[in-house]
Amino acid sequence: MGEFDLIERFFWRPAGQGPRRAVVGNGDDCAIIAPAPGMHLAVSTDTLVEGRHFLSTVDPARLGHKALAVNLSDLAACGAKPLAFTLALTLPRVDEAWLAGFAQGLLALADAHDCELIGGDTTAGPLAIGITVMGEVPAGQTLLRSGARAGNDLWISGWPGLARLALEAFRGTLQPALTSDDFDTARRAMECPEPRVALGLALRGLASAAIDVSDGLLGDLGHLLRRSQVGATVVLDALPVHPVLAARPVSQQHDCLLAGGDDYELVFTAPPEHRARLLALGDSLGLPLTRLGAITATPGLQLLQGELDVWPDDAPPQPVSNRWTSFDHFKS
Interior angle at CA 253, CA 252 and CA 256, nearest 5: 85
CA-wise closest residue to 33 among 23, 44, 43: 23
> Nearer to Mg ion by C-beta: 24 or 100?
24
Please check whether residue 153 is in contact with residue 272, taking contact to mean a CB–CB distance below 8 angstroms.
yes
Task: Compute the least distance from the CB of residue 2 to ligand ADP, in Å.
Answer: 11
Distance CA 45, CA 68 (A): 10
Distance CA 34, CA 82 (A): 13
Strand partners, 157: 289
Task: Compute the least distance from the CB of residue 195 to ligand ADP, in Å.
Answer: 20
Among 107, 115, 117, 174, binds ligand ADP (CB under 6 A): 117
What DSSP character marks residue 238? G
> Nearer to Mg ion by C-beta: 29 or 273?
29
> Which of 14-22, 113-121, 195-203, 263-271 is the region at the interface with ligand ADP (rule: CB under 6 A)?
113-121
The pairing of strands 318-320 and 39-49 is unpaired
Interior angle at CA 189, CA 120 and CA 331, nearest 5: 70
Contact flag: residue 313 with Mg ion (CB under 5 A) = no
Residue type, 65: H
Distance CA 248, CA 268 (A): 27
Return the residues of window 14-33 that contact ligand ADP according to CB under 6 A. Answer: 26-29
Task: Compute the least distance from the CB of residue 42 to ligand ADP, in Å.
Answer: 20
> Nearer to ligand ADP by C-beta: 64 or 158?
64
Task: Compute the least distance from the CB of residue 197 to ligand ADP, in Å.
Answer: 21
State the DSSP string of 184-228. HHHHHHHHS----HHHHHHTTTT-SEEEE-SS-HHHHHHHHHHHH
Closest-approach residue to Mg ion (CB): 29
Contact flag: residue 253 with ligand ADP (CB under 6 A) = no
> Nearer to ligand ADP by C-beta: 106 or 190?
106
The binding track of 88-107 with respect to ligand ADP, each residue x by CB under 6 A or -, is: -x------------------
Contact flag: residue 119 with Mg ion (CB under 5 A) = no
Task: Compute the least distance from the CB of residue 269 to ligand ADP, in Å.
Answer: 37
Contact flag: residue 290 with ligand ADP (CB under 6 A) = no
Question: Which helix or strand (DSSP H or E) is residue 290 part of?
Answer: strand 289-296
Strand partners, 28: 26
Contact flag: residue 181 with Mg ion (CB under 5 A) = no
Contact flag: residue 29 with Mg ion (CB under 5 A) = yes
> Nearer to Mg ion by C-beta: 118 or 245?
118
Return the residues of window 46-85 that contact ligand ADP according to CB under 6 A. Answer: none
Task: Compute the least distance from the CB of residue 24 to Mg ion, in Å.
Answer: 12
Secondary structure (H, E, C), 113-160: CCCEEEEEEEEECCCEEEEEEEEEEECCCCCCHHHCCCCCEEEEECCC
Among Mg ion, ligand ADP, none, partner that 8 touches (CB below 5 to 8 angstroms by kind): none
Q: Which residues bind Mg ion (CB under 5 A)?
A: 29
Q: Which residues bind ligand ADP (CB under 6 A)?
A: 7, 11, 26-29, 87, 89, 117, 119-122
